Structure 1
Amino acid sequence: MANFFFTDHDRNIMGLSAIAGALAGAAGMAASTARDAANLREQADYVEMKINGQPAKGWVWFSPFQNGDEVELIGTQQEDYFEIVAIARPKDRVISLYPHCTRGKHAHIKNIIKWWLYSVTFLLTILIPATFILFEFISPSQEKYIFLEAGYLYLSIGFYMFFGAFTYVYGKKFLIFAQASKNIFKTLGLNNPEKIDLPKQTKRKPDDPGAFGVMYFKY
């Protein structure tokens, strides 16, 4: 168990070092420092192996690989070991990455905007009206539905602005992972690394393991 999401409480010296490392492109440094964080709360796999006699280790969200698999390692060279941030199996193009490193920057921004619009629109056009109609059915009144009044438009604008601000702050915290993701995708030689969205492009089949498409992907 380790803390891979940096909250305000976690931004101590160790957390700041991890963030700075990721922004600089040294995602391996982020993996190394986050591994030692005190506030442990997220499940991931810590993998260790030897490549040409050299130790290699690091965190990935989920490792589906077996002994004997031919894999490619992406990461950074430390003093006495290689810090892994992603493991790719070229045979079937399966990849496991450092937690939350699943989208390039453009794909990340597009994803959070999509969910902001979808969730607030659902709330305002379906959930709130359905709730008022249900209460009206249970306890009829003569008052006009709030969502039929002109003021509901201003309320809706307020909702979009409030949740938009929340989405901006929340999404910004993940930019360090988007930057690390871009560097991983570039190392693999993938086209348009900023636009890659691994959860979206990974097509699940009915017999696939539950973690596939969520914690490890196709590239």
Structure 2
Amino acid sequence: MITLRPSNERGHAYHGWLNSYHTFSFANYYDPDHMGFRALRVINEDWVKPGRGFGTHPHNDMEIITYMLGGAVAHKDTMGNETVIRAGEVQAMTAGTGIAHSEINPSREEDLHLMQIWILPEAAGLTPNYDQINVSSEEKRGTWRKVAGRNPGAGAVHINQDVDLYATVLSEGDRLSYELRAGRYAWVQVVSGKLSLNGVSLEAGDGAAISDESLLDVQAHSDTEVLLFDLA
């Protein structure tokens, strides 16, 4: 079964410096029918104006992934990490027992464009952790490139939950399949472009909850970037 979450039905918040779309309930946007899917709790697509961003604020008991799409973000946290994350990079934080961090667009000219993803952890009170990787478009082209997981292997960030996150970049006409093991679920989020998923049409910003399917068939109808969450 594939349940579509259309882009134009997402929650929306505009603060001048921040333009944000919420796939699931977040902050002042509350929809009891869209509180998350399995362990997936937040998918926010954010555009942040130059020189602006999120000042120091706390988190706990959450796995937080930042998937960079454009521009850069200057990150600083109470674990002692201070770095710049650029387009094509993926950041993960285990908030665990508690962290505070800031995320600021350091550019004077370019908007920051990112997707922030929150995943519920497998346990409360974990030790905070930070991870960051670079994944080129070529590494994602035509294949499911794992970028995060509980057992990530080389070249992916670690999260404390039974979730694997994959990304792919497809050209128009490309076709890519993914086999779901028995008892597993999936969420597909279209970052850009147009595609069909088992015959269901999706466009940029659309998401889809998937259950009781054994094979996912993705066909790109334009140049396309896609995230795939394989969930317990």
Name the TM-score class by shorter chain. under 0.3
The structure with the largest strand share of the pair is 2
Larger Rg: 1
The structure with the largest helix share of the pair is 1
The TM-score normalised by the length of structure 2 is 0.26
Higher relative contact order (CA 8 A, sep 6+): 1
The TM-score normalised by the length of structure 1 is 0.28
